[in-house]
Amino acid sequence: MKNAPLRISGLSVAYQKKPVLRDIALEVPEGKLIGIIGPNGAGKSTLIKAALGLVPRLSGEVAIYGRPYAEQRKLIGYVPQRESVDWDFPTNALDVVMMGRYGHLGWFRRPGANERRIAMECLAKVGMADYADRQISQLSGGQQQRVFLARALAQDAQLYFMDEPFVGVDAATEKAIIALLNELKAQGKTVLVVHHDLATVKEYFDWVVLLNVELIQAGPTADVFTAANLQRTYGGRLAILERNDHETGIGAR
């Protein structure tokens, strides 16, 4: 794929000499909703962090639309795991979302009326406009996740990385998040999502990356998300249940 949104080659990462990712080679297509799937400890979050330069690499290269990450920061939006954020930091929801505009402003220009308007529009898209002045520490887990999604929207990126955005949210918030991700896809944007619920993979994602330290398989969901590939990915932790409609339902245990 010429100028793929994300191209990774020879990527290896280790923590305290223990391999976390080993020789990953991956290209993802543009305009797809992509799930990164694998068991706990498979390196899913590390893959995102290594692509963003947030953890050191032992080896490998990462290209964003054919160029190094450092040259393409403005094209990237990132939603980290909720538990990695200091929610006691004294700021309100609107200020958090306006932080997403700094890539366009530069760090030495103060956000003005235009940035405030964009931030409020993004909060409205995730159903949080009424909470703009609320301290983030006073929001529920699902509301906090919506605010971080609004911040990612405010970045107006082409490539989004989201690390387990559905964890700890209620059903209404999950439905709102997937609707938002599909809206981004409809705009031609590429979204990579670390995801753990195997039961919703076929419904949510066009493309999947199966990972367990090494890349097991990557490609269109219909081709790659199979019982055989999931057995390779999860090993003995996989349970395969035949549904009444003769489709295979898959759940991890």
DSSP-assigned letter for residue 151: H
- What tens digit of pLDDT does each residue of 5-59 get? 999 999 999 998 899 999 999 999 999 999 999 999 999 999 999 999 999 999 9
Residue 137 structure tokens: 């520490």
Token couple for 207: 């493309």
pLDDT at site 249: 46
Q: What is the DSSP letter of 192?
A: E
pLDDT of residue 251: 47
Has residue 166 got a pLDDT over 80?
A: yes
Going by DSSP bridges, is the β-strand pair 59-64/33-37 parallel, antiparallel, or unpaired? Answer: unpaired
With H, G, I as helix, E, B as strand and everything else as coil, classify residue 65.
coil
Record the pTM. Answer: 0.85
Per-residue confidence band for 103, with pLDDT thresholds at 50, 70 and 90: low
User: Cα angle vertex 167, ends 162, 172, to 5°?
Assistant: 100
Q: For 226-253, what is each residue's pLDDT tens digit?
A: 999 999 999 866 654 333 333 444 544 3
Residue with more model confidence, 209 or 102: 209
The confidence score (pLDDT) of residue 81 equals 83
Q: 112 exposed, middle or buried (CB, 10 Å; 0-12, 13-18, 19+)?
A: exposed
Provide the pLDDT for residue 241: 31
Smallest CA-to-CA distance from 232 within 211, 253, 249 is with 211
pLDDT tens digits along 104-159: 555 555 666 788 888 999 999 888 999 999 998 899 888 888 898 898 888 889 99
Tokens of 10: 């020879």
